[in-house]
Amino acid sequence: MAMPLAFLPAVTPSVLAEALTDKTTTDKDVLVAVRTLAFVVHPPAGAVPLAVVFDPAAPQSLAELQTVIGVLDDGTRVGAMTVHPVPVAITDLDQLTNYRFVLLIAGVQSYRQAIFDRTRGQGIVTISADLDCVRAGLCVMGVAAQPRVQVLVNRTAAAAAAVEFLLAFRMMITEM
């Protein structure tokens, strides 16, 4: 028996567009992203929090947050740092200035400009598995683990964020 349409949740065009364009952040994407953090000029040492920006109202965002926490919860050692996730809801974007690294996951696409504006000029690396965020100049770095490892850095976004990467790293990645 077919379900009446009245029982379907309300889906606005903006919610539908975001759901169709958000790239899923996989556990492999998270690991690739974390491994790149050691290549910033003057990387931090010791326990390093990774802000994971999520939308508590978006099921896909909550699922990806759990993926990130599952991958990094015990801390992942990269160079002289041990990276651990810290969830930051989209309602708490003012907290982002407390972090050196910020990961944008599904459900936050419509907040990219606000995130970029809050992190501008503060040496904060914004990262996403959605390479369109980098292409739009709203994320400093994008990573994709499938079908092959790809790291994309937006030079303009990096300069605006006051972020620099080591030359050896820049020779291995794609800059735009």
pLDDT digit string, tens, across residues 67-85: 999 999 899 999 999 999 9
Architecture, CATH, for domain 24-167: 3-Layer(aba) Sandwich (3.40)
**What is the C-alpha separation between 63 and 105, in angstroms, rounded?**
10
Beta 141-144 vs 81-89: how paired, if at all?
A: unpaired
Domain map of the chain by residue range?
Answer: 24-167
User: pLDDT (tens digit, 9 = 90+) per residue, 87-138?
Assistant: 999 999 999 999 999 999 999 999 999 999 999 999 999 999 999 999 999 9
DSSP H helix total and E strand total for the chain? 7, 8
CA 53 from centre of chain:
7
